[in-house]
A = this chain, B = another copy of it.
Amino acid sequence: MRYTRHIFVCTNRRNDDDPKGSCAQGGSEEIRDLFKKELHQRGLKTKVRANKAGCLDVCEHGPNVVIYPEGVWYCHVQKEDIVEIIEKHVIGGEIVERLLLPDPRYSPEKTRYEPLKKEPIK
C-alpha cells in the first residue's frame, strides 16, 4: 500500500445561493491545507497523503472527509478536529467516534485499525 492512510477531503464548491451548500463553503479547502501541514510537521509525508476530492455525495454533513484503506467517513469536520484525527486515527488507528457520519451505511467495519507506528510491547 503506497500510503498507510490516504485522506480525501471534499473541496467541492457550489454557488453561494445553492440550497445544498458545499464543503468548500464550510471551509474544507483550509481543512485540507491544514491536514497537509500537520502531516508534514510530523514527518508523515511519505506514509500519509491528504488529497482534495470532488463531491462525496453527503453534502448535508459537510465538510466531509474519508480515510482509506479503512473507508472511515468523518463529517462536519472543523479545523479544530484535524490534530485529533491525525493523532488518534491516522497515527493511532483509533476511530474518532464523535465525528463519524451518522448513517449506518457509512459505519466503519472495525473499531480499531493498525496503528501507524507499532506500540512497544508491554
Instruction: Mark A residues whose CB is within 8 Å of B.
Output: 1-3, 6, 8, 11, 32, 49, 51-57, 66, 68-71, 73, 105-106, 109
Copies of the polypeptide in the assembly = 2
A45 to chain B, nearest CB (A): 10
User: Within the complex, what minimum Cβ distance (angstroms) separates A47 from chain B?
Assistant: 11
**Chain B residues with CB below 8 A from A70, complex form:** 69
A2→B68 contact, CB < 8 A: no
Contacts of A2 in B (CB 8 A): 71, 73, 105-106
Contacts A6-B66, A66-B6: A1 and B71 contacting too (C-beta < 8 A)?
yes
Q: How far is the CB of A96 from chain B (nearest CB, A)?
A: 17
